[in-house]
Amino acid sequence: MGYEELNQSVISDEEMQLSGDVETSFVEFRELSGAPPVAIDKATSRLYVLASDGKMYLKDSTGAVLNISAGVLGGGDARDTKEDGPQSVAATATTRVFRAVTDGTIESFAAETGDVAAAGESMDLDIQIDGVSALVSPVTIDDSILTATPVDGVIDTGANTYVAGDLIEIVRTYVAGVGPTPMTNTIATVAFKTA
């Protein structure tokens, strides 16, 4: 099947639909003051430009919104993951993850250990934005956690947003146990999304 050339505009004040193999030199998007409503008659996604910032967004049939412009600028879908560790010795430490060059949010955080903790031994791991936790409470790894078993942190949605210039760090707080072999090889993974 070949391409069909469009000889007239298919843009209305409400929506545009393209179907099949269509070739066109450009598509115009009217800037909207807010996100369009979710389609109720069919499962579709709506692509639109927001007038307040001039960025392109995609709203899917569940109502979730993805910033397409940020994804293009970020070289992907504007999401990334960084892993810190394994920490070779069991110790309290603060590790720099990155200095933010754009606005964004911490999307998830998890921690695990490569070695079982000794009795009574524990380590709290936290993700912080300029010294303020982005979690409801730190993730605790102790002798009840199996090796290579990630423990997910609960993101505090009121504290997980950062702006350009903020410092993102992982903070480990270690408590020694009574066993002869302290835990090592703790790993923290943080996922973030640019705004």
Which letter does DSSP use for residue 77 in this model? S
Q: What is the mean pLDDT of residues 120-138?
A: 96
pLDDT for residue 75: 47
Q: What CATH topology corresponds to 79-194?
A: Jelly Rolls (2.60.120)
Q: pLDDT tens-digit profile of 39-87?
A: 777 777 878 887 777 777 777 777 777 777 765 555 445 568 889 988 8
Residue spans per domain, the chain: 4-74, 79-194
Classify residue 148 as left (phi > 0), alpha (psi -120 to 50) or beta. left
Q: What percent of the chain has pLDDT over 70?
A: 81
Interatomic CA distance for residues 44 and 21, integer angstroms: 18
Model confidence pLDDT, tens digit, residues 77-90 = 556 888 998 888 88
pTM: 0.62
